Chains A and B, each alone.
Chain A
Amino acid sequence: MSDVARIEIEEFREEVRNWFTENKPQDPGFLLPETFMEVGTDEQFEFLRDWQRKVYEAGYIGISWPKDYGGGGRPQIFQDIATREMVTQRVPFMPNTIGLNWAGPLILKVGTEENKRKYIKNILSAEDIWCQGFSEPEAGSDLGNTRCSARRDGDDYIINGSKIWTSLGTYAKYMILLARTSKEKSSKYAGLSFFLAPMGVDGIDPEPIQKLTGEYGFCQTFFDDARIPADCLMGEEGDGWKTAMITLTFERGASGGQAGGTSMMELNAYDVLELARRVRRNGKLAIEDTYVREKLVSFLIEFRGNQLMSAREKVPGLTGDWPGAVSLSGKLRNTELRRRLTQFSLSLMGANAARFVSENSVDGGKWQRSYLNSFSATIGGGTSEIQHNIVGERVLGLPKD
């Protein structure tokens, strides 16, 4: 790296740090969702959308996306710095995650020039919220089992069936939709097609589903003879599986190109350590309990291991025997750690662990809610079991099951 570049980067780091320090939003006075998969009320949504718009306008997301379409046109390292700062300063996450991190990079990679001009800028500004219509009641892990149908009729496709677990379904303007255009193909994957579908047409009805916490946050999206323009088709008819797989490489962080920003509230082992210093388990401060101390140390080691992995993987010579091991296991490692950490956090509180969101609970019940919500990420986006299969097969080269 040249000295000029180094100086430019250092200046940028400083600038970003100052901007987030000055512009970090105040506590809104209501509980925020913990991930983009749990935006359940209008006030939560508006708050987060305003925040994303503000960050975009300041120039801190989409930094590496092309200028022509609304991005910053700068090297990836600037985005990495900005995102890192958002994590460090614990600012709210970007609600339009599906647009920023999977639909957006997908469009930039395989979309037409017209797609890019139409969609990219509004993804960044949160003007257009995107959702994902992949899972169905009978097709989750086994996505190839998709049944929702799209039938060509003149200049339209007519969509029938339903998609489920649609995060942000009621707020979205567009959906990346996987649907079956033919039933007569050799394999179940061959008859699928991929659409950039508008949500605002007649016959599309997202119905909120109540989550295990009692809140809302995702939907079942019903399609009843919904007509969408034929030019919503991405790629060729019958090529949908391929496009869906490219989308998943973005979703799983296996390929770069995302717009940056965070998609969930930061929560790590140090937060639980801090909690242990101020709550009581069976009469004494949790941090004084031998069981708690032992577990905390293990969590701190695991958390640091995760952090160091990304650093080590970039060092020439230390990349390791198994290419892709670190990036492809990222979702599995981080989400499972979060689940176990929040589960453990409850054990610090003694009998008070049995409370839920209310004034009398430790931190208003945030930890109980966090534990229940942690499963959003160990299930959504491909379950941990499926992640194990992916890493075992793609990284270790073990045979498919």
Chain B
Amino acid sequence: MKITLSDEQRLLLETAQSFFIDRCPIEQTRKNMSNGKFDQSLWQEMVELGWAGVNIPEEFGGLGLGIESLVPIVESMGRFVVGSPIKSTAVAAGLISSFGTYEQKSIYLPRIVKGEIASIGFIEENGAWDDGFVETVAELRDGGFSLTGKKCFVTDVDCSSLVLVSAKVKNETNIFIIETSEIPEGLVKREVVIDETVRSFQIDLNGLFIGENQVLGSGSNRLADLSSLLLNAAEMSGGVSGVLQLTVDYLKNRKAFDRLIGSYQSLKHPMVDILISSEALRSHLYYAANCLSSGPDKEAEIAIRMASASGSEAFAYASDRAIQFHGGFGFTYDCNAQLYMRRALWCQYQGGDQVYQKKLLETLLLD
């Protein structure tokens, strides 16, 4: 089992690390949170760095890398609990690049490279992760698809121009590209979600009629699942690093009974366990990224689900302990530990928690 990082990926990692340190201190995220607005200038700067087109083929103006090359960017972002549409945009771009017709690629991809945002709507009110439970239906008639259903947890859809949604055609789950301009006023509603850095919406698709040429090739739902899961794990890996640093800093400065609290083993030892889980998670993550670069095969699925399960477990524990180890301050809105805790819950329950991932791994590894 090898892990490699190409020169381009290393460059992306270095750029992303310093970009988010300079550009996204947590105070900035808190400001965005409190006014609920989309940080347009941040997105614009990311687009100018070429990040909107990382995984778009060169012939359509992108960098021509795979979705796995977003991992270093999303991971670096996750450290500072930044909210950004980069994940959904990259997943959408990857799906169109891999499963779109030539016509679809030429219509949509150049727009994404220029900074038009794409959001994704895979989950529904039933809260299921498995796309077998998708209830939205796309019925083929009159040379187009008529949609019925609702999508939840669609992030930043109010500023995106495209939204990719899953829907069933007979028994098969397919993915459709919708122009947000096609969605009538009033059918998009803001949702209150646990991670306040995330701007989440519900879309009522009932009555929407879209063109026959707005469906992606079959099998795209598998890539949709695995690529979102990979970026989700990247975000968790960054989150664990961030919250570990936050807690270690506190433990080195806060005193109780005339001693720095970091000298108490009941705090020190769990921090070591968190460090180890963070190191393991990063290793699973970059290995999974390597695997996905050669396609969403079984090995990639195993690696991604392992990364996801490790991520959920590590982030849940690290953020939970972060609150406890900050004492009374940990219980406040002001303490950044809560941002990580809420992000951990968001990531874990959006991607599919560790119990779910392990259940799928049982079949993949044991049977």
Q: Please report A residues at the B interface, Cβ cutoff 8 Å.
A: 273, 287, 293-294, 296-298, 300-302, 304-309, 311-312, 315-318, 320-322, 325-326, 329, 332-333, 385, 388-389, 391-393, 395-401
Contacts and interface: CB of A to CB of B under 8 A. Distances in A.
18 contacts: A294-B359, A296-B362, A297-B358, A297-B365, A301-B306, A304-B1, A308-B3, A309-B279, A309-B283, A318-B3, A320-B279, A321-B241, A329-B276, A388-B269, A389-B268, A395-B275, A396-B275, A401-B264
Given A312-B283, A317-B10, A388 B268 contact: yes
B283 A305 contact: yes
Nearest to A317: B10
B310 interface: yes
Interface stretch (B56-64, B137-145, B198-206, B245-253): B245-253
B272 interface: yes
Contacts of A320: 279, 282
3 tightest CB-CB pairs across the interface, nearest first? A305-B280, A308-B283, A398-B262
Nearest to B4: A315
A237 to B, nearest CB: 33
B14 interface: yes
A293 B362 contact: yes
Contacts of A388: 265, 268-269, 272-273
A316 B10 contact: yes
B361 interface: yes
Contacts of B276: 325, 329, 332-333, 391
B271 interface: yes
A393 B248 CA distance: 11
Contact of A308 (B1, B251, B359, B362): B1
B256 interface: no
A312 B248 CA distance: 23
- A interface SS class: helix
Given A311-B283, A398-B263, A304 B268 contact: no
B286 interface: yes
Contact of B3 (A306, A311, A385, A393): A311
B3 A312 contact: yes
Nearest to B12: A317
Contacts of A399: 252, 259-260, 262-263
Contact of B5 (A304, A317, A329, A392): A317
Given A298-B358, A320-B279, A325-B279, A392 B10 contact: no
B329 to A, nearest CB: 19
Contacts of A393: 268
A395 to B, nearest CB: 7
A320 B245 CA distance: 12
Interface in B204-247: 241, 245
Given A297-B358, A304-B284, A398-B263, A315 B5 contact: yes
Contacts of B268: 388-389, 392-393, 396, 398, 401
B272 to A, nearest CB: 5
Given A287-B366, A301-B284, A392-B271, 7 more contacts: A297-B362, A301-B361, A305-B306, A311-B283, A312-B3, A317-B9, A393-B268
Contact of A294 (B259, B260, B362): B362
B13 interface: yes
A322 B310 contact: no
A341 to B, nearest CB: 15
Nearest to A333: B276
A398 B279 contact: no
A215 B263 CA distance: 39
A315 B279 contact: no
Given A398-B252, A401-B264, A329 B279 contact: yes
Given A315-B286, A321-B241, A297 B366 contact: yes
B352 to A, nearest CB: 14
Of B5, B245, B275, chain A has the most CB atoms within 10 Å of the CB of: B275
Nearest to A301: B306
B210 to A, nearest CB: 40
A397 B260 contact: no
Given A309-B279, A388-B265, A400-B263, A301 B310 contact: yes
Contacts of B251: 398
A401 B309 CA distance: 33
A385 B358 CA distance: 29
A392 B366 contact: no
Given A321-B245, A388-B265, A300 B283 contact: no
B2 interface: yes
Contacts of B362: 293-294, 296-297
A372 to B, nearest CB: 24
A69 to B, nearest CB: 34
Contacts of A321: 241, 245
A354 to B, nearest CB: 26
Contacts of B284: 301, 304-305, 308
Interface in B283-304: 283-284, 286-287
Contacts of B281: 305
A396 B284 CA distance: 22
A250 to B, nearest CB: 22
Nearest to B309: A301
A401 B260 CA distance: 9
A392 B287 CA distance: 26
Contacts of B275: 322, 325, 329, 391, 395-396
A92 B359 CA distance: 36
A104 B229 CA distance: 48
Contacts of B248: 396-398
Given A297-B365, A305-B284, A311 B279 contact: no
A306 B281 CA distance: 10
Contacts of B361: 297, 300-301
Contacts of A293: 362, 366
Contacts of A396: 248, 268, 271-272, 275
Given A297-B358, A308-B284, A392-B269, A317 B366 contact: no
Contacts of A308: 1, 3, 280, 283-284, 287
Contacts of B9: 317
Interface in B1-21: 1-5, 9-10, 13-14
Contacts of B263: 398-401
Contacts of B10: 316-317
A317 B13 contact: yes
Contact of B280 (A302, A315, A398): A302
A396 B272 CA distance: 8
B103 to A, nearest CB: 38
Contacts of A296: 362, 365-366
Contacts of A300: 361, 365
Contacts of A322: 275, 279
